[in-house]
Amino acid sequence: MGMRRTPVGSWLRSLREMREGLVDRVEGSVDVVVETLVSRGVLTRDDREEVLCERGPRGRVRKVLDILDCKGEEAAGTFLLAVGHLSDAGADEVSGQRGVPPHTAEYSRVMQKHKAVLRRRSESMLSYNTRHGEQVPFSLHYVHLLVVKGHHSLELRRHEVMTFGQRRLALQGTALEKRLVKPAQLFANNANNANNANNASNANNAGSRPPKRVLVSGVAGIGKTVLVQKILYDFGSDVEHAEFDFVLHLTFRDLNLVSKPVSFRDLALRKNSHLSKAVDAILANESKLLIVLDGFDEFKHYRSTADVDAFVTEPDEEGGVTEIISSLIQGELLPEASVLLTSRPMAVSHMPVASINCFAVITGFSTAEIRDFFQRYFQQEALAQQMFEKVAANELMLTLCYIPAFCHIVCSILKDSDGLARESPKTMTDIYTQYLVALLRSHSHGRVDDVSERQRLREIVLKLASLAYEKLMAHETLFYSGDLEALLLLDSAMVSAFLDKTSVQEPGFTEDVFSFTHLTVQEFFAALHCVATAGEMAAAAAAAPDVLFEHNASSCRQEDEITAGHLDLFERFLSGLLSERNQRLLSRSVGLDPSATRAEVYREGLLKKLQALCESGGPILTQLHCLFEQQDDGLLLDFRPGALRVKVSDVSLSPMDYAVIKHFLQQTTGTMAELDLTGSSVTAAALTDLLPHLNRCRSLWLGENTLDMEAIQVIAQVLQSSDTLAYLGLGWTDIGDEEVLVLADAIRSRQSLREIWMEGNRVSYRGLQSLSALTPSPLQAVVAIWNEVSEEEASLLSGGGGAAALGGPCVTVSFTDDLMWREWCQWVLQRCQGNSTEKLVAVLHKVCRRSSSAQRQDVPWTRGFYGELLELIRSRIAQCHEEEEDVRGRLETFAAIVAS
């Protein structure tokens, strides 16, 4: 097949759109193409050396494409013409070697045998059943997949379960309905086209072939392994995936046990000895092969997968497991085979995502499906409805039930605690403490008052807690039978209540692999360990968890993972377990006696931390959640910070987040110096709920939230009723003249607001006129840079129009040399430095919007500000990984703007 002619002027675009296809086409002739380009002066000898340093032929092709991307249209055109003249016969020969099916009776017989094996292995769901041990068909389970364009990682500044809990509703929204796909469509053409919906040319060139490498991400317990089982079952039952002859299933739990060099051929046969007679034909016919790699986040070497030193390029070539996995993902090994990976979001950044063709996210249960899950679990319609109503009335429980595993936990609590006839759980710790007690009751057979029985349960719980803590600090979710043997737990029947077991068959032996039933269960037990462990070390942990981490040799926490919220829930559980009510419950049910001293030390430490953050204006959300877990209204009676500043910016706040903020504010009195809700996805409903406390604010920052008229009406109520509010920030909130007119009327009625900041909105001269009438009193400053105001109108508003100037120096529509800008610069730089690179790009998009040298050439302070900003951007560019090419490109664009 020859290369199609590409119109002159679109060579570079074609190069980018056809990138992966070109890698496939050129890998067998990359050396010839490189020499051709050198001889024609397109590549220099230094370029050639740089290419030859790359590992593997596909890596060398990608390096060539990277270099050409910087050399312009003519170089791209020369390359494409050179590729077009590659031997069609040679290309056909390679294609024939990879894609021609064997068509032998043995091949067909083995194919049917393999399907029968997969069908038997995967015909039932064994996790999170309606009843323990009951087999549940896949038709009763839901796996919602959302195909997304590009790397769609979570910005993990918080615990992944909580982060995704907030975002899932948007992902499941009507605006994205067309991108929802069924599992069977992951490798179909329409999935790829959805992935490239905004690039018609790419769809035409590459969309004719299914995506080869698909990444499915989802938080713990949301259904990644269920998805894999469904794919295996549907394939084995001849229901779906007919485009493949064979599906090979590998789990990273199994791969963790491989310590010696091995070939992919051997890995394929480890659990599939029935394929031995046809394995060579299967691997040779790679275009008809799907390889499923489940649980990348459980791979003990996942951090080094993107940084292998050498590739494995042949199925029978031996190498380390990490090299084999990396080679599969990057297409160096079996490049024509399709590969499906599953992973929790926390590990995705360590994957070579530049090689992924299609990204999908599992979005979990909708509210209707939560109701349906309850119906299947309780089996009686009236009882199921009653239990669901209890959960629906508890916002925290309902929010987290989008995770199937958590939904199962909640149902277990409801079933084994008589439907929560006592007090309904209000916090995360309440839920998990009741879950623990309910399961212990079940395994004690009603003998909870027996002293020896309680002692036995206590020992088992503490040993599990110790194991949970050790593994959590080491970022591990898997452990092996040796770990349980060391704790003398292997033969305990009760362990199965909290641990899932997988038996891994290895040559010559069987290894049992364990994990807690859900990540959050492990985090709860880890906190329980810190609370229950006797001695000064536990007291230190309770007072300040970081002290414990500093002294713990097994802790391998890295700074990026600390900010990713790895221990958010652990800290909340720690606080909740040190509350009086949960300690009483644990004392009665487990024999864990409360320590009043230890709890008091913790509470004192929490209050000191809260006071320091309130006075400094530091991020305070984690501490507010810990305070909420205490559920002690008397805890803040003596809380008297010098200044009350509540900063909860730059994270998308969930309804539960607003609940804990409101809980805190209800227990404090007096003026609030500052409430910062910048970039928090605040809504009119949330503002309405916080309305009594907004009236107490001196400074209220609501920027970088999309505020509709309903939200503006709430803000207007504050302006009309508050004698305190003096500073209001509404930058980048998408407000226009109509919203400003509403605000102007409200400001006029109370005359208390002094400054209003409205950068980067849609406000025109008309809207600013309404505010200019309120200057210089009460408004002393109206900041409206980057709005829809012409230079002539700007001159009138800012005082350049002589006596007829409307706003005078109070209305600012362009940079000036006023002192107020120094604080603005400091605020912007702090946000840029303290946020992730993805968030930095979002902030830069706003700060650099409509920015030009003409705007700042006569303003001295801008030189230092833009210089610091440029230095920060360049440092982030240097930190970008190879798979972050898109982010790097955007940062380089902003660097050019800032440097101009």
Pick from 251, 6, 265: nearest CA to 122 = 251
With 90 as the cut, is the pLDDT of residue 249 above it? Answer: yes
What is the reported pLDDT for 748? 93
Q: What is the pLDDT of residues 487-496, one digit of tens each?
A: 767 666 677 7
What is the reported pLDDT for 609? 92
In three-state secondary structure terms, 690 is: coil
Tell the residue number behind the tokens 């037990």, with chain if given: 525
Of 122-131, 397-406, 699-708, 852-861, give the lowest mean pLDDT range: 122-131
What is the reported pLDDT for 206? 35
Of 325-329, 598-602, 750-754, give the lowest mean pLDDT range: 598-602
With 50 as the cut, is the pLDDT of residue 547 above it? Answer: no
Instruction: Return the percentage of the chain with pLDDT > 90, whole number.
Output: 18
pLDDT-derived band at 721 (thresholds 50, 70, 90) equals very high
According to the per-residue pLDDT averaged within each range, which of 146-155, 800-809, 840-849 is highest?
840-849
Q: How far apart are CA 165 and CA 144, in angstroms?
A: 14
The DSSP secondary structure of 85-146, one letter per residue, reads TS-HHHHHHHHHHHH-----HHHHHHHHHHHHHHHHHHSSB-SS-SSTT--B-GGG----EE
What is the reported pLDDT for 799? 58
Q: Of 208 and 241, which is predicted with more confidence?
A: 241
What is the reported pLDDT for 47? 82
What is the reported pLDDT for 504? 64
With 80 as the cut, is the pLDDT of residue 421 above it? Answer: no
Of 544-548, 622-626, 734-738, give the lowest mean pLDDT range: 544-548
In three-state secondary structure terms, 190 is: helix
Q: What is the pLDDT of residues 448-470, one digit of tens each?
A: 556 777 777 788 888 889 889 98
pLDDT-derived band at 778 (thresholds 50, 70, 90) equals very high
Mean pLDDT of the chain: 77
pTM: 0.71
Of 124-128, 443-447, 516-520, give the lowest mean pLDDT range: 124-128
With 60 as the cut, is the pLDDT of residue 131 above it? Answer: no
Q: What average pLDDT score do residues 78-106 get? A: 57
Of 22-31, 34-43, 119-128, 772-781, give the lowest mean pLDDT range: 119-128
Q: What average pLDDT score do residues 17-33 get? A: 78
Q: Of 180 and 87, which is predicted with more confidence?
A: 180
With 50 as the cut, is the pLDDT of residue 802 above it? Answer: no
With 70 as the cut, is the pLDDT of residue 768 above it? Answer: yes
What is the reported pLDDT for 200? 32
Q: Of 839 and 653, which is predicted with more confidence?
A: 653
Q: Three-state secondary structure along 618-635?
A: CECHHHHHHHHHHCCCCC
What is the reported pLDDT for 860? 76
Q: Of 57 and 627, which is predicted with more confidence?
A: 627
Angle between helix 885-899 and 837-847 (nearest 10):
30
With 60 as the cut, is the pLDDT of residue 172 above it? Answer: no
Q: What average pLDDT score do residues 10-38 get? A: 79
With 80 as the cut, is the pLDDT of residue 214 above it? Answer: yes
- φ/ψ of 612, rounded to 5, equals -65, -40
With 60 as the cut, is the pLDDT of residue 166 above it? Answer: no
Of 67-76, 115-124, 348-357, give the lowest mean pLDDT range: 348-357
504: enclosing H helix or E strand: strand 499-506
For residue 2, what are the CA distances in angstroms to 10, 25, 86, 420, 497? 18, 11, 8, 70, 61
Check: CB of residue 136 under 8 Å from CB of residue 356.
no
What is the reported pLDDT for 140? 54
What is the reported pLDDT for 99? 40
According to the per-residue pLDDT averaged within each range, which of 265-274, 489-498, 710-719 is highest?
710-719
According to the per-residue pLDDT averaged within each range, which of 16-20, 430-434, 682-686, 861-865 is highest?
682-686
Q: What average pLDDT score do residues 135-150 get? A: 54
With 50 as the cut, is the pLDDT of residue 420 above it? Answer: no
pLDDT-derived band at 662 (thresholds 50, 70, 90) equals very high
Return all residues near 313 (Cβ < 8 A) that are at least 6 apart: 56, 57, 327, 332, 333
Angle between helix 837-847 and 820-834 (nearest 10):
150
Pick from 846, 675, 853, 676: nearest CA to 761 = 846
Q: What average pLDDT score do residues 375-393 get? A: 85
Q: What average pLDDT score do residues 38-44 get? A: 84
What is the reported pLDDT for 515? 82
pLDDT-derived band at 135 (thresholds 50, 70, 90) equals low
For residue 702, what are the CA distances in angstroms to 374, 652, 694, 736? 39, 13, 11, 15
What is the reported pLDDT for 2? 38
**The residue type at 676:** D
What is the reported pLDDT for 709? 96
Q: What average pLDDT score do residues 370-377 get? A: 84
Q: What is the pLDDT of residues 781-792, one digit of tens each?
A: 999 988 888 878
The token pair at 721 is 């009723």
With 50 as the cut, is the pLDDT of residue 177 above it? Answer: no
What is the reported pLDDT for 86? 62
Residue 764 has what DSSP assignment? B
